[in-house]
Chains A and B, each alone.
Chain A
Amino acid sequence: MRDEQRQALEQFLAARAGAHAVRIHDVRLLSGGAIQENWSLSTSVTGGPHEGELECVLRSDAPSGVAVSHSRAQEFALLQVAFRAGVTVPEPLWLGDTSVFGRDFFVMRKAKGTASGHRLVKELDLGGDRELLVERLGEELARLHAIRPPVEGLAFLRPPTLSPALQCVKDSREFLDGHRAAFPALEWGLRWLERHAPVTPALVLTHRDFRTGNYMVDETGLTAVLDWEFAAWSDPLEDLGWFCARCWRFGQFDKEAGGMGSREALFRGYERVSGRRPEREAVFYWEVLAHVRWAVIALQQGERHLSGQEPSLELALTAHVVPELELELLRMTGGHHA
């Protein structure tokens, strides 16, 4: 971060925090996030309601992003709505603009802990009791899903014109039609999704990337649900299916809830807050959809490298997760050839 950016940020933070002065004494670029940049800011606030040390994170656009992700202003609005609904998210503090930092950004309170999926599934001292953690995650989802349209500040979220399931089928097919190669196994998955598509009785606010790797824990438990850029009005079971999908278990396949705990615990937490018991068979549909959707996103990420716009080994390798997603998709939908 350049000196003039830091000074502009200090002035911005002081004005928004109602402080006499804010001094940033440590800045670090955090890893993770192919779409956004996250900067950790350690600040000292003099005067005003935030007087004292304030640890926060500045989230800004990266040089390029996936077309379907929200702007920082929209993500800030989503965080505010989730925060007010009692979902454990980093407290959204202030929304900034390009005049301050050169790119759009917002500032949120820093959550403690780690989010790395690979670490979480291996280091069992992280996250406290795992069954309790997974149960808590179920409760978090239920709180989020209590939010129904319309909501002030979320007008930018357009309800799907079709049912969420069929909308995903349509969008995925449109993407594949314009892609450089065809994917017959994905097509079979899409056909299965089309033929088995459920009706969504009522749209709710969904996270749509709610999985291990996108929430933070410390030694005692959950500290924050992160990465709201895919949030949309959808079927509540989409989030449960995404969380349980085999492709998001980080190799811990017997722990069906995100590689962390039992499905039973997740559903128990969900039912306690929502009053609705998720049915395993209904969630299964969304696990199939999760594999299709993740494969499409992986192709899009690979394309960012392939197109030459953003040479990146990580993006290049992401395209290579597609075959294993397709194999699992075939297994789930009767395409397994013994």
Chain B
Amino acid sequence: MRECPDGAALLAIAREVLRKELLPLLPGDKAYAALMVANAMGIAERQLRNGEGPQREEQQALATLLGREGSLADLNREFAARIRRGDIDIDSDAEARRLLWESTVQRVRESAPKALAAYSPSAARHVFV
């Protein structure tokens, strides 16, 4: 069994130290780099907290939509190819639209959660910041 606090929790507290204790002491030209470090730590933390669950859900939903099995990367490529060919039309296919929107929201939740606030209250729920 691994030691606790785990990786996500360590990133969270380390980020606090960076932002609250170190950032104010940095010269102006280094503040941007520190903010980038904090941002990167936040993304890593959220990915760790989410684990593989969302990816598995996306894979299953894609497999159902496309009617075939495969890795998430393969299914995603197939989804992209069908959209390009016009075989899947997001305008008329509500299930494809839902899947595309939800999987994009999930990625924003990890990479840029603050951006979600502008879209829908439901999308902004369960955001770890």
Interface residues of A (CB under 8 A from B): 31, 173, 176, 181-188, 190-191, 253, 313-314, 316-317, 320-324, 326-327, 330-331, 333-338
Contact = CB atoms under 8 A, between A and B. Distances in A.
B84 A324 contact: no
Contacts, number: 90
B112 A320 contact: yes
B112 A321 contact: yes
Contact of A324 (B97, B102, B115): B115
Interface in B71-129: 73, 76-77, 79-81, 83-84, 86, 90-91, 94, 97-98, 100-105, 107-108, 110-112, 115-116, 118-120
Contacts of B80: 176, 182-184, 186-187
Contact of B98 (A173, A183, A326, A337): A337
B39 interface: yes
B101 A335 contact: yes
Contact of A191 (B84, B103, B105): B84
Interface string B48-80: 000000000000000000000000010011011
Contacts of A314: 36
B104 A327 contact: yes
A336 B86 contact: no
B79 A335 contact: no
Contact of A190 (B81, B84, B107): B84
B101 A336 contact: yes
Interface residues of B, number: 37
B43 interface: yes
Contacts of A335: 90, 97, 100-101
8 contacts: A323-B104, A324-B115, A326-B107, A327-B116, A331-B119, A334-B91, A336-B101, A338-B120
B33 interface: yes
Nearest to A186: B80
A321 B43 CA distance: 11
A181 B76 contact: yes
Q: Which 5 A-B pairs have the closest CB atoms?
A: A337-B101, A323-B107, A182-B80, A320-B111, A182-B77
A317 B37 CA distance: 9
B73 A313 contact: no
B31 to A, nearest CB: 11
Contact of B108 (A184, A187, A317, A327): A327
B22 interface: no
Contacts of B83: 184, 187-188, 191
A37 to B, nearest CB: 16
B40 interface: yes
A334 B83 CA distance: 14
B25 to A, nearest CB: 20
B39 to A, nearest CB: 6
Contacts of A321: 111-112
Contacts of B21: none
B29 interface: yes
Contacts of B104: 185, 323, 326-327, 330
A335 to B, nearest CB: 5
Contact of B101 (A186, A190, A330): A330
Contacts of A316: 40
Contacts of A320: 43, 111-112
Given A181-B73, A184-B80, A334-B91, A327 B115 contact: yes
Contacts of B98: 337
Nearest to A326: B104
Given A324-B112, A327-B104, 18 more contacts: A182-B81, A183-B80, A184-B103, A188-B83, A190-B84, A191-B83, A313-B36, A320-B112, A321-B112, A323-B104, A323-B110, A323-B112, A326-B107, A327-B108, A330-B100, A330-B101, A337-B94, A337-B97
Interface string B1-42: 000000000000000000000000000010001001101100
A317 B100 contact: no
Contacts of A190: 84
